[in-house]
Structure 1
Amino acid sequence: MAHATTQAPRREAFSSRNVFILSAIGSAVGLGNIWRFPYVAYEGGGGAFLIPYLCALLTAGIPLLFFDYAIGHRFRGSAPLAFRRMHRAAEPLGWWQVLICVVIAAYYAVIIAWAAMYTWFSARLSWGAGNEENFFFTEFLQLGDVGADGLSGSFVPQVGLPLIAVWLVVIAIMALGVKRGIGRANMVLMPLLTTMFVILVVQALFLPGAADGLNAFFTPNWAALADPAVWAAAYGHIFFSLSVAFGIMVTYSSYLKRKTDLTGSGLVVGFANSGFEILAGIGVFAALGFMAQAAGTDVSNQASAGIGLAFVAFPTIVSQATGGSIIGVLFFGALVFAGITSLISVLEVVVSALQDKLGWGRVRTTLVVTIPIGLVSIALFSTTTALLVLDTADAFINAFGIMAGAFVAVIVVSWVLYKLPVLREHLNRRSSFRVGRVWMLLVGVLAPVVLGYLLVSEIIAKSAEPYGGYPVWFLWVFGWGMVIGLIVLAVLLSLLPWSSRSHAKDDPDYDEFLQVESYTPDSETGTVRLPGGTQKGAGA
């Protein structure tokens, strides 16, 4: 009876494989699919870009997706616990991924709040024809500047209030848990998102000038294939697009049932995400073709990416098109739904990690995680300098957080711990699509080479001159200093002891998993051992 009072609660699980697939697609399909991919493809040679894009998907994206699935499902834990069970010394890798998600969650929420407000603005055409850029930067964001001595930001109510609402909705979803919260939210939001976006694309295709936009998007520039930067852009986009290497898929796959088809699920998620990106490209460039015809210019003069596309170019289209309000509501509503499904997956990495470490209940852990992140998010991103902080944090966390973390993880797992054979065997024991030595070469050789190239390129680019022309102190607080601080904090978190109720100390699900599978991570000795050399069931 005494043992029962200290035993860790059983790990939550998705109700079915279909719910997991929808949740994984919901995580992968985010804001970048809609406002980043079309422009990256256009700049990378139009239709010709599909060749390096598909190569990147097949040789890096999907193999790394399998890599994350195998780690999470085999070691049955959040990112820190899964890496710890692989080897004690690997635990900091998991905490690094957790802390990356903390930063992303803080700024990702404000973009959802912007999109929610613009859904309302679209219905009323609040910005006024010809005033779209000024409305967004000056009237809505009230964009300020970074002074020499500090941030000059003041509270912006039209941003802060919807941001508070976003956090309340997300906290409620997270508190309900994996099955009742995250699973059900994705079961509702993903069909809505897909339906809305298909309707949006169909509407865009019937706009005058849509054919010109599609020609610009799909006409191949074969010369671009000789440019290494185009291939690097394709691989870089795939790494970010599929939500690999920063804890999300490790965490989600740990909630899967024992006999789930891992590689089959990964293929569905990978190709569904790419299908949505291509659909987004069609819709966005059809709309840009209309915009170019209305302005009497070439599509190349209208093409842009990121915030400029979403909150300046699209409102311009909404103002000019017949039935533009409907297009605006569908577009920004789709951004809201895509953002929420991605944000809850990012937060789940953090919640799951602390729940594993401390052995707390779901609601308590959720509140301890989300309220502080939410307060920091509101404090930083409801001010007149929010866009400057967001731009810097996003640029550095993508390059030196996600990309660097992925590089270190594949090197450590492949060449230091030699766990790729274990992961390959685990995938093949329960999957419809078997992987072999080719998969190991792609993960252990190609992925580090490509990630290393991208990482060095980013270091050179950001060291050559101050990013964005921002002051050096600002870049050290929200850029270089932030990414270095994450690494140091990850190591410190791994040194903290695990609670006696944590899943590392006592996990009936993990013990049963090993017993039922009769599976050993050590094929040479034939014994089942937990990290540190302890026998199965003895605790980590």
Structure 2
Amino acid sequence: MANMAQQPADHPAGQPREQWSTRTGFLLAAIGSAVGLGNIWRFPAVAYENGGGAFLVPYLIALLTAGIPLLIMEYTIGRRYRTSPPAALRQMARPAEVLGWWQVAICFVIATYYAVIIAWAVRYVGFAADQAWGDDPEGFLFGTFLEAADEPGFVSGYVSGVVWPLIAVWIVVLVILAFGIRRGIEKANKLFIPLLVVFFGALVIRAVTLDGAAQGLNALFSPDWSELSNGSVWVAAYGQIFFSLSIGFGIMVTYASYLRRRADLTGSALVAGFANSSFEILAGIGVFAALGFTAQSAGVPVDEVATAGLGLAFVAFPTIISEMWAGGLFGVVFFVSLVIAGLSSLISIVQVVVSAVQDRTGMHRIPAVFGVGGAVAIVSILLFPTDEGVYFLDASDHFINQYGIALAALVGVVVVAWVLRKLPELQRDADATSAVRLGHWWRICLGLITPLVLGWMMIDSLRKEFDENYAGYSTDFLLAVGWSVAIGALLVGVVLSLIPWKAAGGGLIDLDMETAEEYESHHHKDDPGGKEDR
């Protein structure tokens, strides 16, 4: 039993599981995962459409009652079981393993198209330098650059201008992952996050000095307090917090599995949560200051130029760049920021898949990275740099977000809080090593507030889905590329959970809770002061 009890700290072939070298390294990686493309192009539009400055009230409440509590829960599960989401959930209860593999499948899907957007941003760094889009940024994006078909259908050609930067993105990501947690992911984020702060800070400073910036900022932050009585505004706030923190699909469980045993979980969640939200607000300032400049130049209200998503990044901002003095430099900084934010998030998404396969099969890191990560890359390269790629991306992203990430998170919190009733145990684990102790509020948030809000989000989303087809696409296309992707991820999770697990390096996966707790006792007896974590 003593030998078995030591297995949770072991990885394939009895090798010690990697650990972050410092708490700062873990925090930068967690922040890098959370701060992604959506922070830059989603938050400003959501805030603008939901009460402006008044939106910050439900947004901060959502952060404190759902975002940070969920972060703490995922950090605690990851550190307690020291393994990937499927194995961690299996140790909590064997049927729960389905949820872990569902999350892995979701990460696989997201990684395939997320890399393509980064590849677009890579090309736009060069396009910005000489403003290659000319007088028609939208026509340049969908026609000249993406060579998009007139409507969704069958793939009829590949776009070489997207293929090569996409291959380059995947090479960078896989090489970083191959170096491991400390020498790869941690070192990369120690470079990426400071660079992102510098580049995006410079962009915001330039944006707020533009003519018309005040008009844009007034449009964003002028509070409409009457919106606080609108239930959809509160749902939007919880949705934004949820989607922006990388919670619900295994990333934070995976990253926390490499933490030391005495790591401060609650404090880390507070730092990561507020850092992510601070960047979102900074992004809102930069984006709307720039949109204010465009609105004043065109002599129109800000609401006529305000947009989100791909339209903001690859149409609205090129328009702004073309109208600015020294716009090329502004554009280069903007698109380099997108590349950095995207890479740090993509690395974390692929790591979930790699870690799960390592724990499942006992593979060493390099074969797992280039085997599993390579498979993700191949699917990405085959499907998305095509004339139909932008349509595949749009539909897949919508359905895997709404009925993959959000639904998996809802099921996950219900299973942990209501079915398995693990919140008291997890709270004791977190409190044992955290400077900020959790009170009853944490269990109330996860047991009541978060499931109710996520449940309502799901009902509201489904109602809209059945009222009209997403983005006006045909039902056949949405069934083939949208619903099938979301449902397929769940089915893959079920199938993978039914495959018998083989012991990797000595039976890690088949440990029950009693054995894991014995390991904790054994470990702390050997290291009562938590010296290994200092």
Following superposition of structure 1 onto structure 2, how do residues 115-514 of structure 1 map, counting pairs within 5 Å?
115-128=121-134, 130-146=135-151, 150-502=153-505, 503-504=508-509, 512-514=519-521
Amino acid at match of 1:138: G
Match of 1:13, SS? Answer: coil
CA–CA separation in structure 2 for the residues paired with 1:202 and 1:269: 24
**469-478 or 320-329, which moves further after superposition?**
469-478
1:10 aligns with 2:13: no
Match of 1:406, SS? Answer: helix
| Per-residue deviation, 1:506 | 8.2
The aligned counterpart of 2:60 is 54
Cα distance change on mapping 1:5 and 1:123 into 2, 3 Å: closer
1:41–1:49 CA contact under 8 A, matched in 2:
yes
Match of 2:471, SS? Answer: helix
Cα distance change on mapping 1:409 and 1:87 into 2, 3 Å: same
| Per-residue deviation, 1:222 | 1.0
- Choose from 72, 79, 92 the match for 2:85: 79
| Per-residue deviation, 1:242 | 0.5
Cα distance change on mapping 1:463 and 1:126 into 2, 3 Å: same
CA–CA separation in structure 2 for the residues paired with 1:57 and 1:164: 36
Cα distance change on mapping 1:351 and 1:283 into 2, 3 Å: same
The aligned counterpart of 1:537 is none
1:31–1:339 CA contact under 8 A, matched in 2:
yes
CA–CA separation in structure 2 for the residues paired with 1:151 and 1:418: 48
The aligned counterpart of 2:531 is none
**507-516 or 168-177, which moves further after superposition?**
507-516
| Per-residue deviation, 1:5 | 12
1:35–1:309 CA contact under 8 A, matched in 2:
yes
CA–CA separation in structure 1 for the residues paired with 2:362 and 2:411: 28
**61-70 or 465-474, which moves further after superposition?**
465-474
Gaps of 5+ in 2: 527-534
1:515 aligns with 2:518: no
The aligned counterpart of 1:533 is none
Cα distance change on mapping 1:5 and 1:232 into 2, 3 Å: closer
Amino acid at match of 1:472: T
| Per-residue deviation, 1:471 | 2.6
2:32–2:341 CA contact under 8 A, matched in 1:
yes
Cα distance change on mapping 1:506 and 1:229 into 2, 3 Å: closer
| Per-residue deviation, 1:124 | 1.3
Match of 1:18, SS? Answer: helix
CA–CA separation in structure 1 for the residues paired with 2:447 and 2:103: 19
TM-score by length of 2: 0.93
Match of 1:490, SS? Answer: helix
2:81–2:516 CA contact under 8 A, matched in 1:
no
Match of 1:15, SS? Answer: coil
Amino acid at match of 2:198: T
Q: How many residues align?
A: 515
> Alignment identity in percent?
52
2:174–2:369 CA contact under 8 A, matched in 1:
yes
Cα distance change on mapping 1:5 and 1:495 into 2, 3 Å: closer
CA–CA separation in structure 2 for the residues paired with 1:446 and 1:377: 37
1:68 aligns with 2:71: no
Deviations 1:56-106 (A, max 9, x none): 101110111111111111111110011011111111111011010000000
Cα distance change on mapping 1:6 and 1:516 into 2, 3 Å: closer
**460-469 or 188-197, which moves further after superposition?**
460-469
Deviations 1:451-509 (A, max 9, x none): 00000111111122222222323212221122222112111111212233253258999
Gaps of 5+ in 1: 520-540
Match of 2:433, SS? Answer: coil
| Per-residue deviation, 1:158 | 0.7
2:107–2:352 CA contact under 8 A, matched in 1:
yes
Deviations 1:149-201 (A, max 9, x none): x4144101111111111011111111111111101100101100110000000
CA–CA separation in structure 1 for the residues paired with 2:468 and 2:113: 24
Cα distance change on mapping 1:56 and 1:435 into 2, 3 Å: same
Amino acid at match of 1:516: H
Amino acid at match of 1:259: R
1:315–1:328 CA contact under 8 A, matched in 2:
yes
CA–CA separation in structure 1 for the residues paired with 2:35 and 2:71: 14
Superposed CA RMSD in Å reads 2.0
2:12–2:363 CA contact under 8 A, matched in 1:
no
TM-score by length of 1: 0.92
CA–CA separation in structure 1 for the residues paired with 2:367 and 2:521: 29
Cα distance change on mapping 1:504 and 1:458 into 2, 3 Å: same
